[in-house]
Amino acid sequence: MTSGQANSGAPSEKLSPQFASRISNLGRREKIRAIILVKADGEAIHEPSGQIRTRSRGAVNAVNGAFSKALSEVDGILKRHSGQRISASPNALGSIVVETTPAGVLALADSEHVRAIFEDQRITQVR
């Protein structure tokens, strides 16, 4: 990576320092899988019972629309960086899995529609 890239060589606060270090050691065309937390606009009310309810059907539609806009931007970034979305749509937490180049991860980190990026790591059993 060079200092002329979008994040000026400094790890984004959306990436852990360890993940930023690992992607800096990858080749430009290598692919990496990542889990992205997509931002969505919407308002929820926390009830004393601990349940959450939305103010109206309009709030639900606003959330869906916000994800739609964010996903459109994410898809555009992925296309520019030879990447692809692995998840068809965000889960309940707003996360999606993508595969892209190191530059694609950094471009996603610069997006206002992305809250955080985590490395998609294989889980192994500890014995």
Query: pLDDT of 32-80, one tens digit each?
Result: 999 999 987 543 434 444 455 545 555 545 545 667 888 999 999 999 9
Query: pLDDT of 13-44, one tens digit each?
Result: 899 999 999 999 999 999 999 999 998 754 34
Residue 81 CB partners (closer than 8 Å, separation 6+): 100, 101, 103, 104, 107
Query: Distance between CA 3 and CA 42 in Å, rounded?
Result: 36
pLDDT at residue 57, rounded to an integer: 56
CATH 3.30.70 holds for 17-119: yes
Query: pLDDT of 79-110, one tens digit each?
Result: 999 999 999 888 878 899 999 999 999 999 99
pLDDT at residue 47, rounded to an integer: 43
Q: Distance between alpha carbon 33 and the CA centroid of its chain, in Å?
A: 11
The Cβ-side half-sphere exposure at 26, using a 13 Å CA radius, reads 18
Reduced to 3 states, what is the DSSP secondary structure of residue 51? coil
AA identity, residue 89: S
- Is the pTM value of this prediction over 0.95? no
pLDDT at residue 58, rounded to an integer: 58
Query: Distance between CA 48 and CA 115 in Å, rounded?
Result: 27
Encoding tokens for residue 47? Answer: 């009830």
CA dihedral for 95, 98, 102, 108, sign (positive or negative): negative
Task: Please check the confidence at residue 115 and state whether its pLDDT lies above 80.
Answer: yes
CA dihedral for 8, 12, 17, 19, sign (positive or negative): negative
Task: Please check the confidence at residue 7 and state whether its pLDDT lies above 50.
Answer: no
